[in-house]
A and B are shown apart, each in its own frame.
Chain A
Amino acid sequence: GQNIDQPTEMTATEGAIVQINCTYQTSGFNGLFWYQQHAGEAPTFLSYNVLDGLEEKGRFSSFLSRSKGYSYLLLKELQMKDSASYLCAVRPNDYKLSFGAGTTVTVRA
């Protein structure tokens, strides 16, 4: 089976930076995804990494180290609207994804 671990909860202050870590052990590797999910809504795509290194997209960045089975999502200049669950997902092969349980981020004023 696939094993994907991420912290359950994190709390940060508005304007701060938060880093959500994700470690994985999977039968194969063909890409890592981060999704954002607000309460009661569908997950929406944030980022995709398939090669080692940092991918930056506005206030959000995602990092991947394939040799360490490790990724992180970095949220900068936190806003209240960033309060949500962040899902780490690995694509071991073809098109299917294996998801971690998600990290709930609470942004406080």
Chain B
Amino acid sequence: TAGITQAPTSQILAAGRSMTLRCTQDMRHNAMYWYRQDLGLGLRLIHYSNTAGTTGKGEVPDGYSVSRANTDDFPLTLASAVPSQTSVYFCASSEGRGGHNEQFFGPGTRLTVL
């Protein structure tokens, strides 16, 4: 079982360009999340989706958008990249029901905006 996959693994992007980070899970999890991880700041939630067709804003949503057309895919789009968006981006998913509901993380995308 693949779990969660992310693409690309890494990317260098010119400021002002747009980019979509892809995330796919095969666990049939209801909930999915996008985080960015920066040194000294830990993981910060960008956007989330509790179920297909719904999305919500996290702690740092500005400059990012997401969509959740189906259960498996949760792409993150940067419409016009800025250098402050240089970071490691992690996608995660969870069952989205009561109890444990631990989050499973993808391998990450390392993005550099120049």
Determine the chain B residues whose CB is within 8 A of the CB of A87 once the complex forms. 42-43
Q: Does B61 contact A (CB under 8 A)?
A: no
Closest to B41 in A: A101
Query: B39 to chain A: closest CB distance in Å?
Result: 9
The 9 closest A-B pairs by CB, nearest first: A42-B105, A101-B42, A99-B43, A45-B102, A99-B42, A95-B31, A43-B105, A102-B42, A42-B107
Contact residues of A: prevailing secondary structure? loop
**Assembly CA distance A98 to B60 (angstroms):** 12
- With A44-B105, A45-B104, A48-B100 as known contacts, state yes or no: A97 contacts B42, CB within 8 Å: no
**Assembly CA distance A87 to B41 (angstroms):** 11
- With A33-B102, A48-B100, A48-B102 as known contacts, state yes or no: A97 contacts B107, CB within 8 Å: no
Q: Does B101 contact A (CB under 8 A)?
A: yes
Q: Mark A29-69, 1 if CB is under 8 A from B, else 0.
A: 00101000000011111001000000000000000000000
Measuring CB to CB, which residues of chain A are less than 8 angstroms from any residue of chain B?
1, 8, 31, 33, 41-45, 48, 87, 89, 91, 94-102
Please list 5 pairs of residues, one from A and one from B, whose beta carbons are closer than 8 Å in the complex, sorted by A's number.
A42-B90, A43-B105, A96-B48, A97-B103, A102-B42
Closest to B110 in A: A40
**Assembly CA distance A99 to B35 (angstroms):** 10
Query: A1 to chain B: closest CB distance in Å?
Result: 8
How many A-B residue pairs have C-beta atoms within 8 angstroms? Tell me.
Answer: 52
CB atoms of A96 and B42 under 8 A apart: no
Query: B65 to chain A: closest CB distance in Å?
Result: 18
Query: B35 to chain A: closest CB distance in Å?
Result: 8
Determine the chain B residues whose CB is within 8 A of the CB of A94 once the complex forms. 50
19 new A-B contacts, CB < 8 A, other than A43-B43, A98-B59, A101-B41, are A1-B59, A8-B40, A33-B102, A33-B103, A41-B107, A42-B106, A43-B105, A45-B103, A48-B100, A48-B102, A87-B42, A95-B50, A95-B101, A96-B33, A97-B33, A99-B43, A99-B44, A100-B42, A101-B42
